[in-house]
Amino acid sequence: MLTTNKAIGSRVAGAADISRLASAMKPTGVLSPRGTAYAGFNRGPIFISYGRPSARERTVWGGVLIPFDSIWRTGANEATHLATSKTMVLGDMTLAPGLYTLWTQHTRDGTYLIVNKQVGQWGTEYTAAQDIGRVKMDMAKTPEHVEDFTITVRPTGANRGAIDLAWGDSVATAAFTVR
């Protein structure tokens, strides 16, 4: 329950040696550990907490992991949270200091970062009525394959920054300013 671990069972004729099967099993550990992205702006931090799934030979943008036209949790497991201690302007949204969740929609016409005011939920519990807004992201190819989903918050100038979502062969970027 509440995991991305999957198992397939099939019935076979005869008896199963449960002890032998159990001794051959190995723990998988956490498939999508939590990660954090951080940057400081004008003495105020911006944090993002997110799950870091691996591509594991699956297609990413517009593929199996982030299908076209679906709302994606922007990570794995718990919803991805953005915390800001400063007012942020992201596209046409002005975000007061506080806690938000981030979602992503990848379409054939563009990729959008969605900011939502619902917090504390599991990553599959998206409520569109709680959306503050969305901003179109710039997509670019990465220099090399990014196996583990990675979010970066980086300064780009005085009181300006960018949020990068890198995975597979592409990175989606949303610019912001801090007041």
Instruction: Please tell me the distance from the alpha carbon of residue 33 to that of residue 25, in angstroms, as a whole number.
Output: 21
Give pLDDT, residue 26.
72
Is the pLDDT confidence value at 175 over 70?
A: yes
Note whether 97 and 52 are within 8 A (CB): no
- Which tens digit of pLDDT belongs to each residue from 38-79? 999 988 899 999 999 999 999 999 999 999 999 999 999 999
Pick the closest to residue 53 from 84, 25, 80 (CA basis): 80
b/e for 4-34, b at 16 or more Cβ within 10 A? eeeeeeeeeeeeeeeeeeeeeeeeeeebbee
Domain boundaries defined on the chain = 33-178
Give pLDDT, residue 20.
82
Structure token pair of residue 116:
């939502």
Half-sphere exposure of 144 (CA within 13 A, CB side): 2
Give pLDDT, residue 2.
54
Give pLDDT, residue 4.
60
What is the widest separation between alpha-carbon atoms in the chain? 70
* Amino acid letter for position 139: M
- Which tens digit of pLDDT belongs to each residue from 85-137? 999 999 999 999 999 999 999 999 999 999 999 999 998 999 999 999 999 99
pTM: 0.84
Q: What's the pLDDT band for 138 if we cut at 50, 70, 90?
A: very high
pLDDT mean over 19-23:
81
Note whether 177 and 159 are within 8 A (CB): yes
Instruction: Please tell me the distance from the alpha carbon of residue 91 to that of residue 18, in angstroms, as a whole number.
Output: 57
Is the pLDDT confidence value at 84 over 90?
A: yes
Is the pLDDT confidence value at 28 over 80?
A: no
Is the pLDDT confidence value at 1 over 60?
A: no
